[in-house]
Amino acid sequence: MALDSDMQCARPECNEKIVGRYANAIYCSTRCGSLVRKARYRALHPDAGREYYNNNREAQASAARERLQKPGVAEKRSAYGKAWYAKPENRERVLAASRARDARNAMHRSAQKRDAYRANRDVFLARNKAWKKNNPERLRLATLKRRALIADAPTAPFTPEQFAARMEYFAWRCWMCGNEGRTLDHVKPVSKGGSHMLANFRPACLPCNSGKQAKWLGPVWANSLRRAS
C-alpha cells in the first residue's frame, strides 16, 4: 500500500521527501535505492566494474551504439551533457581531470603525436598551410607570442577579439607617425624587458616599425617618436 511520509530520503545526496511509497520505505524512489546499493557494492568490490568492462568491452560498446540510434537519445544526452558541463564545479572537475591525465601521459602523447606526424606528414603539412592561409591574424599573434616566450618576457592571455578591439581603438594608425599602420609593435621591445600584453601593443607602419626595431631608451624617448600626422 502506497503511503506518504514526512521522512526524507536516506540517500545522503537526496533531500526529497518519501511520497507514495510503501510503509517501511527509506528511499524516495527505486532509483535512489539502486544508487545506494551500487555505491555500497563498489566500495566492497572496487575492481569489479573495471573487470566486467574489460571482459565485456565489445558488448558494452555495441549496446551503447544501439542506444544512441533510438530517436531523441543522442539529442537528450547532448543537452544533458551541456547543462552538466555549464556548472562551474563540474567544468573545473573536468579540467582538473584533463590536466592530471595529460601530466600522467605527457611522454606517451608526445610519442603518439610524433608517430602520427611521421605516418601522415603530407596531410599535416597541408592542414597547417591551409590554417595559416585562413587565419593570418591568429598566425601573426602566435608568432609574436612565441618570440615573447623565447625571450622569457612577461605575458598575459588575450583573445583575437580583444586584440582587434585594441587595434580598432587606435584606428589602425601608426603610433609614431599617424599614418595607416598594419604591422604590430611592442612599444617596449620584449628583448628589452617589455611585456607581451595588450597594454604594450600599438599599430605601426612598416617604415616606422623597421626604423625603431628593438630600440628602447625609456618612456620619454618613446613619446618623442610621435610625430604629427
Mean pLDDT score of the chain: 85
The pLDDT value recorded for residue 1 is 46
* Least confident window among 19-33, 121-135, 164-178: 19-33
pTM for this one? Answer: 0.46
C-alpha grid cell for residue 133? 592561409
pLDDT tens per residue, range 167-214: 889 888 888 888 888 888 888 888 888 888 888 888 888 888 888 888
User: Per-residue pLDDT for 113 more than 80?
Assistant: yes
User: Per-residue pLDDT for 22 more than 80?
Assistant: no
